[in-house]
Amino acid sequence: MAEQRRHFSAADIPGFGLTAMAVFVALYLPIVTLVVYSFNASASVAEWGGLSLDWYRKAAGNAEVLNATANSLIIASLAALFSTTLATLAALGTTRRAPFRGMTAVYAAINQPLMVPEIVTAVALLVVTAALKQATGYTGLGYLVMAHTAFCIPFAYLPIRARLEGMDLSFETAAADLYASDWQVFRHVTLPLLLPGILAGAMLAFVTSLDDVVITEFIKSPGQDTLPTYMLGQLRRAMTPDVNAISSMLMGVTILMLFAFFLLTRKKA
């Protein structure tokens, strides 16, 4: 026992540091470049012309950008609200009851959007929404909200279910013992204890909706561009640095949301 043997450490493998560096460069170099160039004074995307906020100003003054931003925020907020509500009900339904036959199949069914290729879902939604538009004459943002709600459900469901599974049923039993009706148990015990999970789920759903290109591109009507599809459209014409500025802002929002998500899920422990 005189000499303690050193434990195996992955950091001792030759080339560990170099590999790690390479991975981080590949991950972050493009993003750093993008953010740096969003402050470029030059009109070219490739040439540095000094620091400037021009592209942010330009993006903020562009009616199309503002419209796309509004669409993005409306769709993401509503999709997050609806998908989180549905996901909460689904999570309660799959954890707050005795295990039943086919429970695994139900989990898989709820998480369908994670398994079916997005492009397939997009084409399928295109077919359905086209038929609906024809039949009802309604062409508003509702279709996008509906579609985003559907594919956001598993992103909201997973953290909520994880939280519920980690939550001891004895709190709910104790509440029922203390004269709480089923609704009061939910309102005063289950819901407050579940809230961090619900907020985390809503945040993930919001970010997922905000970043979506494929499905939105397929089913949007004219004038219904979201920020990602607007940028994609810009790319087809001439690439201007205001796209850099928009991307940087989008990324900022996403990072903020994910940061909040980690804070909320960490609080659980």
Partner 1 sequence: MSTLTSERAADTHGIAVQQVVKAFGAGSAAIRALDGVSVDIRQGEFFTLLGPSGCGKTTLLRLIAGFEMPTSGAILLDGADISALPPNRRPVNTVFQSYALFPHLSVAENIGFGLKMMGRSRTEVADRVARMLALIQLEPMASRRITQLSGGQQQRVALARALAPQPKVLLLDEPLSALDAKLRKEMQAELKRLQQETGITFVFVTHDQEEALTMSDRIAVMSAGHIQQVGTPREVYTRPVNRFVASFVGETNFISGEGGADGVRLGNGAVLPVSGAPNGPVTVAIRPEHLMLCASADQGAMAAVVERTVYSGTDTHCHLKLAGGGTLTARLPTLVSGEIGLSVGDKVHVRPTPGAVQLLAD
- The residues binding partner 1 (CB under 8 A) are 168, 170-171, 173-181, 184, 188-189, 192-193
The distance of Cα 141 from the centroid of its chain, to the nearest Å, equals 19
3-state secondary structure of 183: helix
CA–CA dist 185, 178 (Å, integer): 10
Q: What's the min distance (Å) between Cβ of 173 and partner 1? A: 6
Residue with Cβ nearer partner 1 (112 or 173): 173
Please give the radius of gyration of the chain, using alpha carbons only, rounded to the nearest integer: 23
Rounded CA gap, 238 and 236, in Å?
Answer: 7
Mark residue 15 as left, alpha or beta (left: phi above 0; alpha: psi -120 to 50; beta: remaining).
Answer: left
Looking at the Cβ atoms of 8 and 100, the one nearer to partner 1 is: 100
* Nearest distance, CB of residue 168 and partner 1, angstroms: 7
Q: What is the dihedral of CA 187, 189, 191, 193, to 10 degrees?
A: 160
Q: Which is nearer to partner 1, 99 or 222 (CB)?
A: 99
91 token code pair: 């999570």
**Of 258, 234, 264, the residue nearest 55 (C-alpha):** 234
Q: How deeply is 216 buried, as exposed, middle or buried, from its count of CB atoms within 10 A (0-12, 13-18, 19+)?
A: buried
CB of 99 to partner 1, least distance (A): 14
CB of 170 to partner 1, least distance (A): 4
Compare residues 57 and 267 and give the one whose CB is closer to partner 1.
267
Q: Quick one: tokens of 198?
A: 């619900």
Rounded to a whole number of angstroms, the minimum distance from the CB of residue 176 to partner 1 is: 5
In the bound state with partner 1, the residue whose beta carbon lies nearer, of 12 and 177, is: 177
Helices (H), 96-141: 103-110, 112-115, 118-136
Whichever of 162 and 176 has its CB closer to partner 1, that residue is 176
Task: Give the nearest distance from C-beta 122 to partner 1 in angstroms.
Answer: 41
Cα distance between residue 237 and residue 240, in whole Å: 9
Closer CB to partner 1, residue 138 or residue 171? 171
Evaluate whether 228 touches 75 at the Cβ level (below 8 Å). no
Closest distance between partner 1 and the C-beta of residue 165, in Å? 16
Please report, as a single letter, which amino acid is at residue 145: V
